[in-house]
Amino acid sequence: MSVRSVIREETWTLTPDRDPDAEPTLYAMACAVCEESSDASEDFADPQSWVLKHCGQNPSHHTFRESIVRPWRTWRHS
């Protein structure tokens, strides 16, 4: 008895998931000076407001990091 392998090359595509039931894209900002961060939000205006309030309360904090959590999906071409 011999063992036989079948290898098939397939093409996959990766794209942001924009289906109606996809998880939401979330945005957050973090201060690079003190590491405090905003809550994650579907609306970028919320973390942006947090940044402006944070730098108003901490005038020496000028640098921030943006974090985005974006859902992605793959599918195989037939």
Within a domain: 43: yes
Full residue range of the structural domain in which residue 51 is found: 12-76
Give the chain's count of helices (H) and strands (E): 1, 4
In the structure, what pLDDT confidence band is assigned to residue 60 with cuts at 50, 70 and 90?
Answer: very high
Sign of the C-alpha dihedral, residues 67, 56, 54, 44? Answer: negative
Q: How many domains does the chain have?
A: 1
> Is residue 1, in this structure, part of any structural domain at all?
no
Token pair listed for 72: 């992605």
Q: What is the DSSP string of 27-58?
A: EEEEETTT--BPPPBSSTHHHHHHHHHHHHH-
pTM of the model: 0.79
Q: Which residues pair with 67 in a beta bridge?
A: 28
In the prediction, which pLDDT does 5 show?
Answer: 77
More confident residue, 10 or 36: 36
pLDDT confidence bin for 8, thresholds 50/70/90: confident
